[in-house]
Structure formats: C-alpha cells, structure tokens
C-alpha cells in the first residue's frame, strides 16, 4: 500500500472523491487505485478563516510509475498470538466484563483458550433498564448501574475511545469494535467515538461471539474470595457459593470495585498509594464551544467541537478531561449514598449542551493515614459529602460558574428542578 499523507481537503467530500483529490495532489492516476483505506482524518481549525480536513490515505496502486517519495506500508495484521506452551488443566477465570475483561476474553478465544468470565452486574441489555430506572426514580442497584455490569464503566459514557498510548494494539481494539458493529470511521478519526446507543449492541455482539467460541459468562455473580496457596491461585469463590478451580485469574475489576480491592489487599496482595484526580462536571452550551473552536465563517459540516484546557499551578494542576460534546451529565453512582457524575452522549452528539470533567490532581500527601487504601477512603468521603450537599437523593449539587466566581451559593428550586 502507498501512504498518501497530508491531504488537505477544503470542502465536504465523499471518501471516493477524497481519494481522487489525494491522487491529484500526489500526481497519481486515480483509475489505477485498486483499493483504499482511510487511515487518518483530522480537522485543522487553527486558522478560522480557512478550516480544512487533513487526511492520510493508504492506496493499493497498480501503476507503479511516479511513486518516488511516497511511503510504502504493509496492510495491518490484527492477530495477537498467545504463546500456548504452558500446559493448563483448568480454564482461566476473568473477573469483570468491562472493556479489559471483554477484550481479554476475546483474545483468549481467538487463541483457542476458553475463559470463564464472571461479572457481578447484568447483561448489557438488562443493565440498561436498571440504569434508566435509576435515572428516573433514584433507586440504585449497587451491582447493576452506570459503573457495573457487562461493558463496564465506559458503556454509559460518551463511548469516546480515549488513550494516550501509542501501542499498535490500540488499532486492534478499534478494528474489533468495527467488526462487532461500530461505525468504520472510528478507525481513522482523530478522536474516535462510538456513542452509548451503539455500544449496547456492540457489547452484546462481542459476548455472543466469545460464547460461540467456547467462552462462558456468569452474570449477576460476584467473586467474593480467592483461595491462594503457596503464592499460587487455586480457586475463586462466588457469592452463589460456587468454587471455581483455576490456576489463572485475570482481575479486570476496574477502579470502582472498592470491596474487591479491599478483599485483595487483606489477602496480602501488594498495593501502593498513587496519585489521581478528582473534580466536578462543568456544563455549557455546545454552540459556544463550536463558535470558539471553529468561528462562524466555515461552510464545512464539522462535528460538534471539543476542547481541552490545562492550568499548571505551582502546587497543583487543574485540567479538563473526558469532554463530552453534545451530551448530558448523568448520575453514575455505584454505592448507596454516594454521588458520582459522568458525561454521556449518543453517536450523533446532538444535545444542546456540552460538558467535561474539571479536575485537580491529588497525591498521597492529601490523604490521612498510611494504608494504601487511603485514596479510596478519600474518594468515598468526597462522594458522600456530595450526596449530602445534593439533598440526599442522588441529585448532584449544582453551582453556576458565575456564582462560583463570585463566591456565593447557587440556590435551588427543587419543585421545578431548576436552579435560581
Ligand atoms: C463514571 C466513569 C465515566 C467514564 N467515562 C469514560 C469515557 O467517556 N471514555 C473513556 O475512554 N473512558 C471513560 N471512563 C473510564 C473507562 O470507563 C474505564 O477506563 C474503563 O471502563 C476501564 O475498563 P475496565 O474493564 O478496566 O474496568 P470497568 O469498566 O470498571 O469494569 C470492571 C467490571 O468488573 C466488575 N467487577 C468488579 N469486581 C467484581 C467482582 N468481585 N466480581 C465480579 N465482577 C466484578 C464490575 O461490575 C465491572 O463491570 C469512565 C470511567 C468512569 C468510572
């Protein structure tokens, strides 16, 4: 494949038209393109008077003339081979069916290994009902909610596939998502995004595939203990009094399963304190972000704009994260009497508001006590205080930015659910 880079496109074109334009820019004959693959597409909005798309396209080209100075790349191989020399008598157990657990399960079955995946929450279709019920009634199911259940914590978020990693396996993740029903554009857009509406089907397709290849899912079943002998895992025990013997356990439990993390700590698993970030969701009109990022001159049909802001102070940094264009803020608690919020959007990202997390970093010096679990206690304490401030009913406490800047309270009119 020939890689055509830095293709500047100033109007909205179909993919075929973009390839023709790319060939023109590289002085190639588009009739000689046997197949193509859009590798990258980004928006360059640095000059608001002249916003354009920047494409990288791989083409299979039959006319081999005039290809000087064009990079040649191999077609990507998305297989991940596991060395199976180890002789296993038992099936590996994966605890948790979030992205980590599901992809682990997928790669194992692709290598002929049949894992047992144990998830405390429900199948994604049933979990969706519990989430909707919580958002409508405030009745929380502590094992089936925005954080727990098949698909994990990202399912009811923006479905943005965020990572700072340059690992080539990131492209495998995208490819697998596409094969289970995600829009193909996630393969090449700068900030790929699936949307909660698509994720539900994709996760269910993924489960069906893993099951068809010999994997087993146990839903609504929680791993509550681990039998360890001479530093080796022997079995896991579930809350349904099941003992599953295994010599391999993959803990894909995410960062919110505080009880399981505590259990592992008291079992003697090595842990250490680490820094993390805490903060609030900030919400504003999407139109304001579009104007600020794109101006008002462009005729391009651009997606809802995003932003990222950072401030590096002397002692602490403050930054935005997980910006959710055209989305809503939703309650994402998994524990009783604690508030967690998150941004969620559908694939279209067509809601009126945008939101993002506004965070500060906290370090072990901010926590009292010596236990490696102090960070979790610190987090839980903040979430409990937010619950109380919101009125003890899973409504998040809200403050207008204007009030925050003027150091005054925002008063709330509960009856109309408006803020005055
Ligand atoms: C509120 C929130 C919003 C987020 N929004 C985004 C976003 O928009 N984009 C993004 O890229 N990332 C987002 N993230 C981060 C992203 O969701 C996580 O990085 C990702 O879900 C981590 O995947 P995981 O599989 O490691 O863990 P998780 O997704 O947390 O999955 C762990 C699973 O393990 C299960 N489990 C835990 N303990 C047990 C047990 N003992 N027995 C059985 N099952 C158990 C849980 O029920 C859960 O389903 C968000 C995270 C949170 C908490």
How far is the C-alpha of 192 from the C-alpha of 188, rounded, in Å? Answer: 8
How far is the C-alpha of 257 from the C-alpha of 119, rounded, in Å? Answer: 11
User: Using 50, 70 and 90 to split pLDDT, how confident is the model at 317?
Assistant: very high
| pLDDT tens by residue, 121-144 | 999 999 999 999 999 999 999 999
Structure tokens that stand for 13 in this block: 């074109």
Is the pLDDT at 5 greater than 70, yes or no? yes
Mean pLDDT of 332-350: 91
The DSSP secondary-structure symbol of 264 reads H
How far is the C-alpha of 43 from the C-alpha of 10, rounded, in Å? Answer: 10
Mutate to test the pocket of ligand 1, among 103, 254, 383 (most ligand atoms within 8 A of CB): 254
| pLDDT tens by residue, 223-266 | 999 999 998 999 999 999 999 999 999 999 998 999 999 999 99
Distance in Å, CA 341 to ligand 1 centroid: 14
- Domain ranges for the chain, please list them: 2-72, 93-266, 276-419
| pLDDT tens by residue, 78-107 | 888 887 766 678 999 999 999 999 999 999
User: Using 50, 70 and 90 to split pLDDT, how confident is the model at 169?
Assistant: confident
Distance in Å, CA 153 to ligand 1 centroid: 3
Mutate to test the pocket of ligand 1, among 94, 96, 161 (most ligand atoms within 8 A of CB): 96
Q: What is the CATH number of domain 93-266?
A: 3.50.50.60
Is the pLDDT at 386 greater than 50, yes or no? yes
Distance in Å, CA 224 to ligand 1 centroid: 18
Sheet of 353-362: strand order equals 276-285, 353-362, 317-324, 310-312
The answer to whether residues 419 and 410 touch, using CB atoms and an 8 Å cutoff, is yes
Phi then psi for residue 232, to 5 deg, are: -120, 140
pLDDT recorded at residue 418 = 52
Is the pLDDT at 420 greater than 50, yes or no? no
Concatenating the DSSP letter of every residue in 158-222 gives: --B-------THHHHHHHHHHHTT--GGGGTBSS-B--HHHHHHHHHHHHHHHHHTT-EEEES--
Mean pLDDT of the chain: 92
pLDDT recorded at residue 64 = 65
Task: Please indicate whether residue 192 or residue 68 has the higher confidence score (pLDDT).
Answer: 192
Q: Which residues line ligand 1 (CB under 6 A)?
A: 95-101, 118-121, 147-149, 152-154, 157-158, 160-162, 222-223, 252-254, 256-257, 260, 322, 332, 340, 342
Rg (CA), the chain: 24
The answer to whether residues 211 and 107 touch, using CB atoms and an 8 Å cutoff, is no
How far is the C-alpha of 412 from the C-alpha of 403, rounded, in Å? Answer: 12
Mean pLDDT of 177-203: 91
118 Cα nearest atom in ligand 1: 43
Residue nearest to atom 24 of ligand 1 (CA): 254
| pLDDT tens by residue, 282-305 | 999 999 999 999 999 999 999 999
Mutate to test the pocket of ligand 1, among 93, 131, 154, 255 (most ligand atoms within 8 A of CB): 154
| pLDDT tens by residue, 30-69 | 999 999 999 999 999 999 999 999 999 999 988 766 577 7
Residues 6+ apart with CB under 8 A from 253: 95, 96, 260, 261
The answer to whether residues 143 and 120 touch, using CB atoms and an 8 Å cutoff, is yes
Is the pLDDT at 14 greater than 70, yes or no? yes
How far is the C-alpha of 356 from the C-alpha of 352, rounded, in Å? Answer: 14
Q: What is the CATH number of domain 2-72?
A: 3.30.70.2700
């Amino acid at each position: 494949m020939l890689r055509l880079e830095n293709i500047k496109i100033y109007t909205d074109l179909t993919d075929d038209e973009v390839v023709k334009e790319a060939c023109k820019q590289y002085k190639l004959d588009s009739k000689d393109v046997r197949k193509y693959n859009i590798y990258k597409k980004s928006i360059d909005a640095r000059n608001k008077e002249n916003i354009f798309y920047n494409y990288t396209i791989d083409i299979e080209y039959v006319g081999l003339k005039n290809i000087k100075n064009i990079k040649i790349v191999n077609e990507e191989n998305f297989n991940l081979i596991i060395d199976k020399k180890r002789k296993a008598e038992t099936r590996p157990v994966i605890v948790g069916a979030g992205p980590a657990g599901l992809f682990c399960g997928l790669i194992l079955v692709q290598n002929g290994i049949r894992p047992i995946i144990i998830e405390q929450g429900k199948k994604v279709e049933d979990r969706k009902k519990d989430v909707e019920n919580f958002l409508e009634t405030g009745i929380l199911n502590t094992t089936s909610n925005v954080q727990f259940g098949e698909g994990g914590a990202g399912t009811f978020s923006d479905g943005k596939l965020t990572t700072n990693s340059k690992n080539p396996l990131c492209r495998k993740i995208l490819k697998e998502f596409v094969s289970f029903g995600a829009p193909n554009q996630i393969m090449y857009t700068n900030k790929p995004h699936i949307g909660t509406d698509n994720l539900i089907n994709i996760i269910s397709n993924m489960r069906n595939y893993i099951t068809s290849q010999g994997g087993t899912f146990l839903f609504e079943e929680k791993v509550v203990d681990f039998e360890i002998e001479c530093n080796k895992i022997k079995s896991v025990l579930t809350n349904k009094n099941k003992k599953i013997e295994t010599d391999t356990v993959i803990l894909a439990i995410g960062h919110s399963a505080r009880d399981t993390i505590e259990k592992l700590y008291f079992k003697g698993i090595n842990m250490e304190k680490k820094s993390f970030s805490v903060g609030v969701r900030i919400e504003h009109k999407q139109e304001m972000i579009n104007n600020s990022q794109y101006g008002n001159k462009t005729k391009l049909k651009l997606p809802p704009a995003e932003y990222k802001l950072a401030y590096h102070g002397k002692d602490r940094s403050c930054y935005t994260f997980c910006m959710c264009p055209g989305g809503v803020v939703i309650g994402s608690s998994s524990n009783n009497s604690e508030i967690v919020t998150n941004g969620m959007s559908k694939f279209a990202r067509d809601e009126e508001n945008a939101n993002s997390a506004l965070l500060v970093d906290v370090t072990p010096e901010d926590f009292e006590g010596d236990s490696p679990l102090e960070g979790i206690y610190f987090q839980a304490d903040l979430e409990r205080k937010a619950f109380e401030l919101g009125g003890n009913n899973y409504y998040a406490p809200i403050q207008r930015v204007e009030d925050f800047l003027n150091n005054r309270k925002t008063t709330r009119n509960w009856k109309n659910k408006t803020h005055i």
